[in-house]
Chains A and B, each alone.
Chain A
Amino acid sequence: DGGITQSPKYLFRKEGQNVTLSCEQNLNHDAMYWYRQDPGQGLRLIYYSQIVNDFQKGDIAEGYSVSREKKESFPLTVTSAQKNPTAFYLCASSIYNLRQGAEEQYFGPGTRLTVT
């Protein structure tokens, strides 16, 4: 735990409004990710960023936007174009594991967004 923070923990918005979810990490990780979690759906990748000022769409990017102006920060905006925005949103960051030859991901505590 620790190192990756998300705020707020709970967020309520009216339909038609854009909302921005915060994600900050002080782990000096290069890569950061946003996932959406729905019941029975597991974790689905929205966007990811390998370096500052660069990001790529994941599997379900429609209706979302991101920015990566600083290494420590990767905010996610849920736009009014997202048809079903109510979900649990998880941010993660990763470091390359030399032993595994792969990237271990560490998750933030999540933000539960409810749109009515």
Chain B
Amino acid sequence: GENVEQHPSTLSVQEGDSAVIKCTYSDSASNYFPWYKQELGKRPQLIIDIRSNVGEKKDQRIAVTLNKTAKHFSLHITETQPEDSAVYFCAASFPGGGADGLTFGKGTHLIIQP
């Protein structure tokens, strides 16, 4: 089955700086890569996603890049703000595997220092 590794487990950055979270996946058939943000005590919320036929996708201050050859994808947050503090999860699913459930990374706790 799919295996997703996520790094780092904790990331502390100064407000206004950029943050980058990286994930690798094992199944080359995976074609859908969402990122979820989970604030303390709340449900995970989908913030951005990318499919394998696209190398990069941007939405305001967040962007995701995908390198299919290396089987890794990254979340980039620019001009970080206090409200970006949360746990971020990457995930991967493969064709027909959506209903099997996504395979999640273990999460990155992002801390924005004022």
Residues on A close to B: CB < 8 A? 1, 31, 33, 35, 40-45, 48, 50, 56, 58-59, 90, 94, 96, 100-110
A101-B46 Cα distance, complex, nearest whole Å: 16
Give 9 nearest A-B pairs by CB, closest first. A103-B98, A102-B32, A42-B106, A45-B101, A107-B43, A43-B104, A50-B99, A42-B104, A31-B99
> Out of A48, A56, A101, A104, which one reaches B31, CB within 8 Å?
A101
Considering only CB atoms, which chain B residue lies closest to A41 in the complex? Answer: B106
Residues on B close to A: CB < 8 A? 1, 6, 9, 31-32, 34, 36, 42-46, 49, 51, 89, 91, 93, 98-107
Asked if B104 and A31 sit within 8 Å, CB to CB, the answer is no
A42-B105 Cα distance, complex, nearest whole Å: 6
> Out of B6, B51, B102, which one reaches A105, CB within 8 Å?
B102
Given that A31-B99, A102-B98 are known contacts, is A43 also in contact with B93, CB under 8 Å in the complex?
no
Asked if A48 and B104 sit within 8 Å, CB to CB, the answer is no
Asked if A108 and B43 sit within 8 Å, CB to CB, the answer is yes
> Out of A43, A58, A102, which one reaches B44, CB within 8 Å?
A43
Residues from chain A with a CB closer than 8 A to the CB of B44 are 43, 90, 107
Residues from chain A with a CB closer than 8 A to the CB of B51 are 100-102
Asked if A103 and B99 sit within 8 Å, CB to CB, the answer is yes
Residues from chain B with a CB closer than 8 A to the CB of A41 are 106
Can you list 14 A-B contacts with CB-CB less than 8 angstroms, sorted by A residue number? A1-B43, A31-B98, A35-B104, A44-B104, A45-B101, A58-B100, A90-B43, A102-B32, A102-B98, A103-B32, A104-B49, A105-B34, A105-B101, A107-B36
Given that A42-B89, A42-B105, A94-B99 are known contacts, is A106 also in contact with B42, CB under 8 Å in the complex?
no
B14 → A minimal CB distance (Å): 25
A40-B105 Cα distance, complex, nearest whole Å: 10
Asked if A48 and B101 sit within 8 Å, CB to CB, the answer is yes
> Out of A42, A90, A101, A110, which one reaches B107, CB within 8 Å?
A42
